[in-house]
Chain A
């Protein structure tokens, strides 16, 4: 009775270690199997070569079995370096624009009455709950050359910028401009909410004291509010920058195919070129170049913050 004894042993194990181990082990095993193992596969796959078999990869027949050709290709082919640079610059520009639009919005939320604050907060969160894809889709419609939005912008351009030639439409789709615009649109709530959470906790009496002592409002802002809100700026900035740098959907739908972001390069290598090893190498490089530094930064920043905070 193999199953019976196995059942008995499981019962004995549970009796000995109890519910505590079950609570730890169940999610642990799940994450090991479906997150850690795939991650290891990516790491190992980046050292293989593409092959005409299924699944499309192979390792060397003799020692050292692995190849570093993919990593070399990463530096030789300018496509990859360019894609990384575009990703970093697009993500950085998106973060800065989100900050410029989002900061006054968050500040305004802290300055209005409680009822209005709740309504405004709901209005900030609402687009976040509607489908991400549909928000991208909305802009595809607006940016098209026949849309009212494009026609309006073209009219504005033609009246405001007097030049010999008048434009019939503004080409917006399939460009870095489109990618940044849609990323700002999709990620703005991620900037506003942490900023609001930070600004709301600030001690307003400091501002009042400074005003009473004769500071101009913009001096109060520069000397008090802005320095105190830096943790919120960093939190919001990371929440925008990290997903923006690895974004796949937005560059695939509205981006320039000849000048792609790195997320799209990974997707294209994997599906269109069926080059699993190269896609894995680019993915590992994305993790090392973009994700690890931001992770390390937040780790050390939270430690530094804990050290700065006075002990109660």
Chain B
């Protein structure tokens, strides 16, 4: 099309305004002097000072981070296993139930996952005496269960699109199955492993509903802290906290995007050079 799609660009700008005005509003009002959340009362950085003095917020951030690190790592291991099982083992007993179990958590409303996990933990404590109290362990288990299926979806898609004949060739040439896994399959899916881990990490660190139901009195994650504060009313220090989170996430995502973009460009250039060299 030689005409510029003026109407479409207008729509896109409108959409971005819708996306970013609320976020910009949070950032602007985090520097507000007034206690009132959205009435401007002059410039001040006092809420940031209050934020760093608040041990509760720092403890919650640490807990969120450690839960996310542990659960993303275990979810990546379990999810990768499930992805390999679904993509590479065409027949095994209970495969239908297994593929159902892998897709169901993706569409299950979070509130149902939350209450069902809580009932499981309470009933298990009743029957076998474990878990004694809810907190880090129960939240981590619930997060792993929820996020491993996202990892499985990513790994499954990646393995389905790669050629199985390389693995078969290695087996024919006398490699042990374990060698094939570590020398061929895992390197092939390495980018998918990274994006699966990142997705599991984000899901865990951002989760409110499932954490709300599976956590105990001693373990407050950052989203739960924000959740309980927001339910009581909006306070300006959340604006400062939100700005910090948005900035950290924004810098990380943009950096990751640029790195991935560069890697992609380099790969395309290498392929082009290889083609040129061969002709």
Chain A residues with a Cβ under 8 A of chain B: 18-20, 22-24, 26-28, 30-32, 34-39, 41-42, 45, 55, 101-102, 104-105, 107-109, 111-112, 118, 120, 122-127, 129-142, 144, 146-149, 185, 188, 192, 207-208, 211, 242-243, 245-249, 252-253, 263, 266-267, 270, 276, 279-280, 283, 286-287, 291, 294-295
Query: Which residues of B from 129 to 151 have beta carbons under 8 Å from A?
Result: 141-142, 144-145, 148
Distance (Å) between the CB of A35 and the closest chain B CB? 5
* Residues on A with beta carbons closer than 8 Å to the beta carbon of B36: 146
Chain A-chain B contacts (Cβ-Cβ < 8 Å), number: 245
* CB < 8 Å neighbour of A27 from B148, B238, B250: B148
Is B242 part of the binding interface, using a Cβ–Cβ cutoff of 8 Å? yes
Contact at B25–A101, with CB atoms within 8 Å?
no
Supposing A28-B98, A31-B145, A101-B18 touch, asked if A134 and B246 sit within 8 A by C-beta, the answer is: yes
Contact at B257–A122, with CB atoms within 8 Å?
yes
Task: Report the nearest B residue to A27, measured CB to CB.
Answer: B82
* Residues on A with beta carbons closer than 8 Å to the beta carbon of B39: 146-148
Is B202 part of the binding interface, using a Cβ–Cβ cutoff of 8 Å? yes
Contact at A291–B92, with CB atoms within 8 Å?
no
Is B115 part of the binding interface, using a Cβ–Cβ cutoff of 8 Å? yes
Complex Cα distance A45/B253, Å?
43
Task: Report the nearest B residue to A45, measured CB to CB.
Answer: B119
Complex Cα distance A125/B126, Å?
44
Complex Cα distance A135/B245, Å?
12
Distance (Å) between the CB of B252 and the closest chain A CB? 8
Supposing A38-B116, A41-B119, A104-B7 touch, asked if A134 and B242 sit within 8 A by C-beta, the answer is: yes
* CB < 8 Å neighbour of A126 from B78, B84, B112, B250: B250
* CB < 8 Å neighbour of B245 from A24, A30, A131: A131
Complex Cα distance A132/B145, Å?
20
Contact at A38–B89, with CB atoms within 8 Å?
no
Closest 3 CB pairs of A and B: A246-B109, A104-B11, A38-B116
* CB < 8 Å neighbour of A23 from B40, B84, B122, B234: B84
Q: Select the stretch in B46-54, B100-108, B270-278 that faces chain A.
A: B100-108
Q: Chain B: interface secondary structure? A: helix
* Residues on A with beta carbons closer than 8 Å to the beta carbon of B98: 24, 28, 31
Distance (Å) between the CB of A309 and the closest chain B CB? 16
Is B73 part of the binding interface, using a Cβ–Cβ cutoff of 8 Å? no
Contact at A123–B16, with CB atoms within 8 Å?
yes
Supposing A142-B38, A263-B109, A291-B108 touch, asked if A122 and B25 sit within 8 A by C-beta, the answer is: no
Question: Which of the listed residues B19, B78, B79, B208 has the most CB atoms from chain A within 10 Å of its own CB?
Answer: B19
Contact at A107–B8, with CB atoms within 8 Å?
yes
Supposing A34-B145, A134-B245, A146-B39 touch, asked if A111 and B112 sit within 8 A by C-beta, the answer is: no
Contact at A55–B126, with CB atoms within 8 Å?
yes
Supposing A34-B141, A130-B245 touch, asked if A139 and B107 sit within 8 A by C-beta, the answer is: no
Contact at A122–B142, with CB atoms within 8 Å?
no
Is B1 part of the binding interface, using a Cβ–Cβ cutoff of 8 Å? yes
Complex Cα distance A108/B105, Å?
33
Supposing A19-B177, A20-B177, A35-B145 touch, asked if A144 and B234 sit within 8 A by C-beta, the answer is: yes
Distance (Å) between the CB of B179 and the closest chain A CB? 11
Task: Report the nearest B residue to A270, measured CB to CB.
Answer: B115
Question: Which of the listed residues B119, B208, B209, B257 has the most CB atoms from chain A within 10 Å of its own CB?
Answer: B119
Contact at A141–B37, with CB atoms within 8 Å?
yes
Distance (Å) between the CB of B258 and the closest chain A CB? 9
Distance (Å) between the CB of A75 and the closest chain B CB? 20
Complex Cα distance A80/B107, Å?
22
Complex Cα distance A139/B26, Å?
9
Complex Cα distance A123/B15, Å?
10
Contact at B119–A138, with CB atoms within 8 Å?
no
Complex Cα distance A149/B38, Å?
9
Complex Cα distance A284/B203, Å?
25
Is B206 part of the binding interface, using a Cβ–Cβ cutoff of 8 Å? yes
* Residues on A with beta carbons closer than 8 Å to the beta carbon of B23: 127, 130, 135, 138
Complex Cα distance A241/B29, Å?
33
Contact at B38–A188, with CB atoms within 8 Å?
no
Complex Cα distance A108/B13, Å?
10
Contact at A291–B109, with CB atoms within 8 Å?
yes
Task: Report the nearest B residue to A252, measured CB to CB.
Answer: B231
* Residues on A with beta carbons closer than 8 Å to the beta carbon of B169: none
* CB < 8 Å neighbour of B109 from A126, A137, A207, A248: A248
Query: Which residues of B from 16 to 31 have beta carbons under 8 Å from A?
Result: 16, 18-20, 22-23, 25-26, 29
Contact at B12–A109, with CB atoms within 8 Å?
yes
* Residues on A with beta carbons closer than 8 Å to the beta carbon of B115: 42, 266-267, 270, 276, 279-280, 283
* CB < 8 Å neighbour of A137 from B78, B148, B209, B234: B234
Is B269 part of the binding interface, using a Cβ–Cβ cutoff of 8 Å? no
Distance (Å) between the CB of B48 and the closest chain A CB? 16
Task: Report the nearest B residue to A87, measured CB to CB.
Answer: B109
* Residues on B with beta carbons closer than 8 Å to the beta carbon of A108: 5, 8-9, 11-12
Contact at A26–B78, with CB atoms within 8 Å?
yes
Contact at A243–B142, with CB atoms within 8 Å?
no
* CB < 8 Å neighbour of B119 from A22, A131, A247, A276: A276
Supposing A34-B120, A38-B116, A134-B26 touch, asked if A111 and B109 sit within 8 A by C-beta, the answer is: no
* CB < 8 Å neighbour of A129 from B22, B116, B122, B202: B202
Complex Cα distance A40/B115, Å?
12
* Residues on A with beta carbons closer than 8 Å to the beta carbon of B14: 101
